[in-house]
Amino acid sequence: MRENVLHGRNVILGTDWWTDCDDAVAIRILARAHLAGRFRALGIVINACFELSVPSLDAYLTAEGLCDIPLALDRDAVDFGRNPPYQAGLMKYPHRRENADAEDPVRLYRRLLAAADAPVDILEIGYPQALAAFLESPGDDISPLTGRELAAQKCGRLWMMAGRWDQDPGRENNFARNVRASRGGEAVCRLWPGEIVFLGYEIGADVLTGGHLAKYDILAGILRDHGSENGRSSWDPMLVELALSGDFAASGYTAHRGWATVDPETGENRFVCDPDGRHCFVSRREPIEYYRDRIDRLIASECDYNAFF
């Protein structure tokens, strides 16, 4: 087992771990950044639920060197439709945890943030209802602070793969999948006390990554089972790479500052530009190949992550 190096920037990841495989690509980047000491991954919240949610993710995390990271599961989030295509293939790998072993998302957010001794960035690449529930949570046995107060005191940036920002209004799956997602998105935009950085649908749709992995690679198997052996759109890994960098220009983006809103019934997103706004969305400054090559380097089957980071 590779040694975990725990001195990087604190992060908590939210993921739907559902029908798309770009979550797995993103989690590889997270895992390698954690093992190289660039991120300190405190926990992962799964915000869509089916019978293999936790065991399949646990199998993948174990293979990627993060077998002990705390997991939470939104057990109510069973209404997102369709059948996940790749998790069953992960069950041939060792795993220890089942859905019953996962913590409640609100308690995980509250526990990890209350105990944090340095600012925590939240990376959200799934549906936002669990994060919204945390923000709306009252004080409890973990902390007398509300969720919003804990976020204000303990969190840095919120990085979200959500929305479509090249249209007005925009509409994208993570805000618009169902009313649960839409109401969660509205609450997060309204209640988050700090900065939110959005990477939208238009950024990653045509950036295909993961098509050059070795056939033996567990991530290559995930992409094959998804039907994306030649690569998949890179929304989630591009968001994690941007958060890892923390530098818009260095990652090839321009940030547009203002205020984002989400319609709680339809999930449509809108944006009002304001140089003093706490929200921003990014647009690409470079050709597709620039982003594709950055992600493919980070996820390569044979990668010296300590040298890379």
- Structure confidence at residue 83 (pLDDT): 86
Question: How many CB atoms sit inside 10 A of residue 219's CB?
Answer: 21
Tens of pLDDT, residue by residue over 159-172, are 999 999 999 999 99
Residue 291 has pLDDT above 90, yes or no: yes
In a domain, 2, yes or no: no
Residue 129 in tokens = 């209802």
- Rounded to whole angstroms, the Cα distance separating 73 from 282 reads 29
- Structure confidence at residue 210 (pLDDT): 98
In a domain, 297, yes or no: yes
- Rounded to whole angstroms, the Cα distance separating 189 from 271 reads 11
| Domain CATH code at residue 58 | 3.90.245.10
The per-residue pLDDT of the chain, averaged, comes to: 95
- Which of 48, 49, 54, 43 is CA-nearest to residue 91? 54
Average pLDDT over residues 228-242: 98
Residue 308 has pLDDT above 70, yes or no: no
- Which of 198, 131, 116, 210 is CA-nearest to residue 161? 198
In a domain, 68, yes or no: yes
In a domain, 1, yes or no: no
Residue 120 in tokens = 């925590």
Q: What is the band of 78 on the pLDDT scale with cuts at 50, 70, 90?
A: very high
Is there a contact between 39 and 69 (Cβ–Cβ < 8 Å)?
no
Average pLDDT over residues 39-63: 97
Tens of pLDDT, residue by residue over 171-212, are 999 999 999 999 999 999 999 999 999 999 999 999 999 999
In a domain, 185, yes or no: yes
- Structure confidence at residue 309 (pLDDT): 64
Is there a contact between 74 and 105 (Cβ–Cβ < 8 Å)?
yes
In a domain, 3, yes or no: no
Range of the domain at 169: 9-308
Amino acid in the structure at residue 244: L
C-alpha 301 chain-centroid distance: 21
Beta-bridge partners for 251: none
User: How, if at all, do strands 269-273 and 71-73 pair?
Assistant: unpaired
In a domain, 4, yes or no: no
DSSP code for 103? B
Express the helix, strand and coil content of the chain in percent, nearest 5 each: 35, 20, 45
Number of domains into which the chain is organized: 1
Is there a contact between 97 and 55 (Cβ–Cβ < 8 Å)?
yes
- Helix (H) or strand (E) run with residue 154 in it: helix 147-154
Tens of pLDDT, residue by residue over 241-260, are 999 999 999 999 999 999 99
In a domain, 134, yes or no: yes
C-alpha 100 chain-centroid distance: 22
Average pLDDT over residues 129-146: 98
- Structure confidence at residue 307 (pLDDT): 64
Query: How much is the pTM?
Result: 0.95
Question: How many CB atoms sit inside 10 A of residue 138's CB?
Answer: 8
